[in-house]
A and B are shown apart, each in its own frame.
Chain A
Amino acid sequence: DVKVTQSSRYLVKRTGEKVFLECVQDMDHENMFWYRQDPGLGLRLIYFSYDVKMKEKGDIPEGYSVSREKKERFSLILESASTNQTSMYLCASSFSGELFFGEGSRLTVL
């Protein structure tokens, strides 16, 4: 079974803090994705990556950056967290079009 592991299920951070959300997959998938999910807005793509050290902006990249130093790990970085980044963050990996999701990281920014 494919496993996508997100490092933290729940985080509480303060405005202005730097936040790292880590995601690791164990199936050697080339494609990895970060989404955020908000009530009434559904899932929105933040960034994705098709290879190591490669990244592409999704629909809402502002305020975020990503890092993919190794194939299995895709990190989402909030350089200076703001309250409007309070959300559920979902990481996913893919090989042939079907997405495998992690359990999500619920971030609250105070």
Chain B
Amino acid sequence: SQQGEEDPQALSIQEGENATMNCSYKTSINNLQWYRQNSGRGLVHLILIRSNEREKHSGRLRVTLDTSKKSSSLLITASRAADTASYFCATGALGGSQGNLIFGKGTKLSVKP
């Protein structure tokens, strides 16, 4: 069953702008992860935030987690054309098995040069 729901489904911005994607989920989680997928390729792990964390940074990525609202956001600052990809959130359920994640349907990001 799908738990994470990303919003928006598609996002088109100009190079240099910031991109914000949101994810909502339904049940209690152990962690939330963001992945990136280039067209026709496998997914690549970007960042993991645990349920007791509120914010995490990695390079140009900033992830926030609000467990009271069951939501997360991924911010990509100063976007580049190479950031064009689909972005997925995935949740690890509280008490669930390691690595057994539920993925959302993704946000398709297009960054125009």
Interface of A with B (CB < 8 Å)?
A: 4, 31, 33, 35, 40-43, 45, 48, 50, 59, 90, 92, 94-104, 106
In the complex, are the beta carbons of B42 and A97 less than 8 A apart?
Answer: no
If A90-B43, A101-B44, A103-B42 touch, whether A42 touches B98 (CB-CB below 8 Å) is no
13 inter-chain pairs at a CB distance below 8 angstroms, sorted by A residue, are A4-B42, A40-B105, A42-B106, A43-B43, A45-B102, A48-B97, A92-B99, A97-B33, A97-B48, A97-B99, A99-B33, A103-B41, A106-B40
Looking across the interface, which residue of chain B has its beta carbon closest to that of A93?
A: B99
If A33-B99, A94-B99, A96-B98 touch, whether A41 touches B40 (CB-CB below 8 Å) is no
Q: How far is the CA of A90 from the CA of B101 in the complex (A)?
A: 13
In the complex, are the beta carbons of B100 and A41 less than 8 A apart?
Answer: no
4 extra A-B contacts, CB within 8 A, seeds A48-B97, A101-B35: A42-B106, A90-B42, A104-B40, A106-B40
